[in-house]
Amino acid sequence: ADRIIAECPQEKEDLWRFYQADPAKITIIPGGFDTNQFSPIGKALARVALGLHPEERVILQLGRMVPRKGVDTVIRGFARFVKEVRGERQEDQCFSPSASSASPAPPAPPARLLIVGGESEEPLPSLCPEIGRLQAIAKDEGISSQVTFVGQRGRDALKWYYSAADVFITTPWYEPFGITPVEAMACGTPVIGSNVGGIKFTVQDGETGYLVPPRDPAAIASHLAYLYQNPLVLEQLRAGAIQRANELFTWQKVTSAIAELYQQVLAPNLANYTQNSDRSLVLYHPDTIIERGFDNLLAALYASRQLCQKAIVDVASILYNCFASDGKVLICGNGGSAADAQHLAAEFVGRFKDPSRKGLPALALSADTAVLTAWANDIGYEYIFSRQVEAFGRAGDVLIGISTSGRSRNLLQAFEAARLQGLRTVALLGGDGGDLRQLADISIIVPAHNPQQIQEVQIFIIHLLCELVEERLMLQRQEQSGAGASQSRSVAKWEHRRAGENYATHPPSAPHPYTPQRQFPQRGETPHGTGSPTPCFDS
């Protein structure tokens, strides 16, 4: 490699020590945050929005629920802090010279630890065993009533939690970089973090928060007590956190640094090439674009192969069971995803590889332009799919939503309608899955962020689903025609492949949490009272 990017000094050292990378080729460019997603919100407003008491001392832990993250250390540190506050209060009452005559001092504001993360919106130990372990620790420490396990939340909600907290704590045993301290600082929340990995780079000790040894609850309790005893210091750390986050970690800063590094790599070749050529031909050389395109697609395919296999098998089983029970599949998407929806429907209705199978009932909700334009014009674009789900969907059917972002309002409305109708829901997504991930019974999420690569991999996954469903149908026909026990073993093997994977699901009969009862505008009205509906030309 001409250059190597490390996210923090610790990663640079590890690359040199363990992989013998040339230190001269390593440039430190950290991970970054989107200023449109993470910025300070008034603490009082954030707490009202989350239903928190305005006077509570709120401490936040947010992230993946795995032992390496050291959430147990946070709970034990918080427990020590709570006990120290109780002890100080008792001492004040016992040893105050005027204790016998004066009115008792007002009690200290209650403290609460919010723990955000898990495998579902409800903090269920059955889906996330680590939550069960942590709940037991909180009980053993005698602070269960002061620890709130929130569950998983979408990225749009995280800034409210960061802004509502007085202090953010993250104490993993090790962290290569860790974006949550940066997001917390961007929202104006000081960080108490482990003095490991990337955290000791992002958090400036005494300037934006404090660094503590991992597995040290006493250090956490000590710093919490100091901060609440010195509110001016807490305010200074808030200001320092905002300043550092915006000086070093915005996406604008990060992408500019990466672009500059590319220029350094390209500059020597440009100098030689442009003596006899147009420089623009170098910057936009066809071979470079083609190679980059193939490389990016192969990287996305490889990552998807590692992460999506079990989800693909599970979705294929859901589709097979739907067709085997005389159900139908409804498919929706916007833009390029609308074309993918029609593509998938055509493969099911027609054939993929098996010329002898019967047609399978599948309907692309993006295909009927008369329905789409009428409902978008009269009611609103965000309801074009949900209306068709209400018209065509029946309990036992399956709704598939295809999106690169998972944030299209018309897909969200369709999935809410599907849940009310008793349909199973499948989402084919990319990136972080967006809000649609929470509404789907099961999601296949392409681990990429470029919509181009996401769509390219989604097409490949669509073909895999078609082949898996056809294979299962063929095995069923062979069994029914007495083809022998070998086919039965094949079906058992097929089922075995999909066993053992847990996904966060919502029962089809239960409305999704935070889903309001939908009311369509009357003919001639615009949604939400004013203005025209905003189309969702997502993918």
What's the mean pLDDT in 193-215? 96
Hey, which residues does 333 pair with through a beta bridge? 402
Query: Token pair for residue 450?
Result: 């470029």
Least confident of 415-424, 432-441, 492-501: 492-501
Return mean pLDDT, the chain. Answer: 85
Q: What is the Cβ-side half-sphere exposure of residue 392, based on CA atoms within 13 angstroms?
A: 23
pLDDT tens digit string along 502-512?
333 333 333 33
The band of 95, judged by pLDDT with boundaries at 50, 70 and 90, is very low
The residue whose two tokens read 């001492």 is 91
Q: Which residue has the higher pLDDT, 373 or 91?
A: 373
CA-to-CA distance for 180 and 100, rounded, in angstroms? 48
CA-to-CA distance for 476 and 488, rounded, in angstroms? 9
Question: Which long-range contacts (C-beta less than 8 Å, at least 24 apart) are formed by 125-129?
Answer: 127/502, 127/504, 128/65
CA-to-CA distance for 74 and 207, rounded, in angstroms? 21
pLDDT for res 355: 85
pLDDT for res 146: 96
The pTM assigned to this predicted structure is 0.51
pLDDT tens digit string along 313-329?
999 999 999 999 999 99
pLDDT over 50 at 500, yes or no: no
pLDDT over 70 at 92, yes or no: no
Task: Determine contact, residues 406/427, Cβ cutoff 8 Å.
Answer: yes
H helix intervals, 362-450: 369-378, 384-392, 409-421, 436-439
What's the mean pLDDT in 377-400? 95
Query: Token pair for residue 320?
Result: 């097979």
The band of 270, judged by pLDDT with boundaries at 50, 70 and 90, is low
pLDDT for res 272: 55
Residue percentage of the chain with pLDDT more than 90:
67
Q: Answer whether 43-92+107-249 and 302-497 agree in fold.
A: yes
CATH code of 302-497, in short, is 3.40.50.10490
pLDDT for res 315: 97
Least confident of 61-65, 150-154, 441-445, 519-523: 519-523
H helix intervals, 165-250: 180-186, 199-202, 217-229, 231-248
Query: Token pair for residue 196?
Result: 């490991």
Distances (CA, A) of 515 to 327, 357, 422, 439, 512: 26, 40, 15, 10, 6
For the chain, domain boundaries:
43-92+107-249, 302-497
Axis-axis angle for helices 309-324, 451-480 (nearest 10): 50
CA-to-CA distance for 147 and 111, rounded, in angstroms? 9
Torsional class of 41: left (φ above 0), alpha (ψ -120 to 50), beta (otherwise): beta
Q: What is the Cβ-side half-sphere exposure of residue 28, based on CA atoms within 13 angstroms?
A: 16
pLDDT for res 223: 98
pLDDT over 50 at 14, yes or no: yes
pLDDT tens digit string along 56-68?
999 999 999 999 9
Q: Which residue has the higher pLDDT, 124 or 278?
A: 124
Could you tell me which residues come within 8 angstroms of residue 12 by beta carbon, excluding any fewer than 6 positions away? Answer: 6, 23, 26, 28
pLDDT for res 299: 81
pLDDT for res 322: 96
What's the mean pLDDT in 350-355? 89
pLDDT for res 499: 41
- Which range has the top average pLDDT, 60-74, 354-368, 493-507? 60-74
pLDDT tens digit string along 138-160?
999 999 999 999 999 999 999 99
Task: Determine contact, residues 416/513, Cβ cutoff 8 Å.
Answer: no
pLDDT tens digit string along 446-499?
988 889 999 999 999 999 999 999 999 988 888 877 654 444 444 444 444 444
Domain 43-92+107-249 grouped into CATH 3.40.50.2000? yes
Q: How many residues does the chain have?
A: 539
Query: Token pair for residue 272?
Result: 């030689």
pLDDT for res 476: 86
